[in-house]
């Protein structure tokens, strides 16, 4: 197939630029989300091979590390909540080790003295989303694909009942056998699609901080998370602290309150955070859906394929989403684990 990617901005400049890049299906497991958990686990298993293949093909590093994650409780209430989550993880057959404070500090000596308990998810990992998207663009172009930044779709080209391509803001008609809608949080406000073909996706704001310290003395070796914050080390002295969850529409202001909240909670669990250089404070918009699970597969309009609504797991779900979309475009059945994520489960639900 020939592939053309159009982006109104620059590929990777949206939520991918802000994402921490945690690959944490165990830590993200929640009640009543079995299908989403299975999808997350499948994608996490695919990541080592996916990252290696992408690096070989693009000639660029993607920053993938299987570093593990520790989830920490700092008081009695947090310990009770962490115990509930650990019980859920064990009931689902997930690898998660309950740890006493001494074991927590053996793994991460920089933890606060208030550490009361922890859970180790040893198979969790991370990837740098910015280097990942750069590698994906290079791989696309290396495979003969065309990437058009600064190109905005403004009209749908519809013949009969089938989508045949898009018209861009500069008047070009880009025709295609199939059109993949992967517009993140903007997928739910596409003005050029028929209203009943627009998926129900909303923006969910998240504020994130980037810090930097000496690579030889990292504040943590693993992802460190509490009920309120996560700290993701990059392995080279950089650290990402995130993330707020705010229903604010398309508003992208970095607020003093958001920065304070993140620094306060990061300091509670890793006091050495206070000694790091604050290099960036940024906000992004996650694509949320009514059930906060992604929309992957054929849309309600013939010729439209949807890949959006990944909410908190967009970077984690890259490999399985790519496999599913490629299968649909080739006329094949996507992986069985993707079936519950059909966009058609929300037919009749208004986009927002």
User: Model confidence at 351, in pLDDT bands (50, 70, 90)?
Assistant: low
Cβ neighbours, 10 Å, residue 342: 16
Cβ neighbours, 10 Å, residue 298: 16
Cβ neighbours, 10 Å, residue 115: 22
Domains and CATH numbers, the chain: 1-67+125-199+291-345 (3.50.50.60), 68-124+203-288 (3.30.9.10)
Partnered with residue 65 across adjacent β-strands are 126
Task: Kindly tell me if the per-residue pLDDT of 145 is higher than 60.
Answer: yes
Q: What number is the average pLDDT over the span 4-24?
A: 95
Instruction: Locate 14 and state its tokens.
Output: 């949206």
Q: What number is the average pLDDT over the span 305-331?
A: 97
Cα gap 269→217, rounded to integer Å: 17
* Three-state secondary structure readout of 75-96: CHHHHHHHHHHHHHHHHCCCCC
Mean pLDDT for the chain overall: 96
Task: Kindly tell me if the per-residue pLDDT of 349 is higher than 70.
Answer: no
Give the angle subtended at the CA of 297 by the CAs of 156 and 32, to the nearest 5°.
Answer: 130
Task: Kindly tell me if the per-residue pLDDT of 352 is higher than 90.
Answer: no
Q: Considering the entire predicted model, what is its pTM?
A: 0.95
């Amino acid at each position: 197939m020939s592939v053309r990617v159009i982006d109104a901005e620059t590929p990777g400049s949206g939520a991918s630029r802000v994402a921490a890049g945690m690959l944490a299906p165990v830590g993200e497991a929640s009640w009543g989300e079995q299908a989403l958990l299975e999808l997350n686990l499948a994608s996490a298993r695919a990541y080592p091979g996916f990252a290696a293949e992408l690096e070989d093909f693009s000639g660029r590093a993607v920053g993938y590390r299987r570093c593990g994650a520790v989830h920490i409780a700092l008081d009695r209430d947090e310990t009770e909540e962490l115990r509930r989550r650990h019980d859920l993880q064990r009931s689902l057959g997930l690898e998660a080790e309950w740890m006493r404070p001494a074991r927590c500090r053996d793994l991460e000596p920089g933890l606060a003295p208030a550490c009361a308990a922890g859970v180790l998810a040893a198979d969790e990992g991370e990837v740098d989303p910015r280097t990942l998207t750069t590698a994906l663009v290079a791989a696309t172009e290396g495979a003969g694909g065309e990437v058009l930044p600064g190109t905005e779709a403004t009209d749908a080209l519809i013949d009969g009942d089938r989508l045949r391509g898009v018209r861009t803001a500069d008047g070009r008609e880009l025709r295609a056998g199939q059109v993949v809608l992967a517009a993140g949080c903007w997928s739910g406000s596409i003005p050029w699609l028929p209203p009943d073909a627009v998926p129900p996706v909303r923006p969910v704001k998240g504020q994130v901080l980037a810090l930097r310290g000496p690579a030889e003395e990292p504040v943590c070796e693993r992802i460190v998370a509490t009920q309120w914050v996560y700290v993701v080390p990059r392995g080279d002295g950089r650290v990402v602290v995130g993330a707020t969850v705010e229903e604010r529409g398309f508003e992208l202001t970095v607020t003093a309150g958001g920065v304070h909240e993140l620094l306060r909670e990061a300091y509670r669990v890793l006091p050495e955070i206070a000694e790091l250089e604050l290099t960036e404070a940024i906000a992004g918009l996650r694509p949320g859906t009514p059930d906060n699970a992604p929309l992957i597969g054929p849309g309600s309009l013939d010729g439209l394929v949807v890949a959006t609504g990944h909410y908190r797991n967009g970077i984690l779900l890259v490999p399985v989403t790519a496999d599913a979309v490629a299968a649909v475009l080739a006329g094949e059945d996507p992986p069985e684990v993707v079936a519950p994520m059909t966009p058609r489960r929300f037919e009749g639900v208004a986009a927002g």
